[in-house]
Amino acid sequence: MVEYVTQHPSGGYILDELHVGMAAEKIVHVTEDRIRLFAEASDDFNPVHLDEEFASKTAYRGRIAHGLLSAAFGSAVVGTILPGAGSIYISQTLAFHFPVRIGDSVRIVITVIELDQEGARAQLKCEGFVGDKLIMDGVAVVRVPRRRKPSAR
C-alpha cells in the first residue's frame, strides 16, 4: 500500500521513520528558463534542447527538455521531501520513455521500495509522468541519516 507523505517538520525523515510504501510527489512546470538554466548549469548546449529550427528537423519534431532536467526534479523530491534533508544519493538507474517539452508539467513520484537498516540506505522507485504517461523511471539508492543532529540552541 502506498502512503503519500509531505515534508517532515525537521526537513527530513530519519531511517527509523521510513517504511516500504511511503511516497512523495512534486509537480514541476517545464519552462524556457528552466531549460536555459539547466543548459548553463550542465554545459549541455545540444541544439535539440535550445534551437527550434534544428530540433524541428529531428525525430522529435521540435525542442525537448534535457532528460536529466526531468531526473533532477526527482532529486528535488529526494533532497527536500522523501527522505529529505540529509539524504545523499549513492546511485540511480534511469530509463527515458517519452520526451518532455516546454509547457509540460512533470509529476515526480518517489516511493520507498526497500530499506537496509544496517547500511542506512533506502531504495526508491522514481517515476516521472506527463499527464498519465510515464516519461521516465528508475531506482535510486540513497543514504539516510540514522538520527537528527541536535539543535544548536
| Model pLDDT for residues 76-94, shown as the tens digit of each residue | 999 999 999 999 999 999 9
Where does residue 67 fall: left (phi above 0), alpha (psi -120 to 50 degrees), or beta otherwise?
A: alpha
Q: Specify the pTM.
A: 0.92
- Four-residue CA torsion sign, 134, 136, 137, 142: negative
Mean pLDDT value across the chain:
95
What pLDDT, on the 0 to 100 scale, is given for residue 148? 78
Q: Parallel, antiparallel, or unpaired: how do β-strands 3-4 and 22-29 relate?
A: parallel
What pLDDT, on the 0 to 100 scale, is given for residue 153? 62
Find cell 518517489 and name the residue. 110
What are the phi and psi torsion angles at 94 (to 5°)? -145, 140
- As a whole-number percent, the residues of the chain with pLDDT over 70 amount to 97
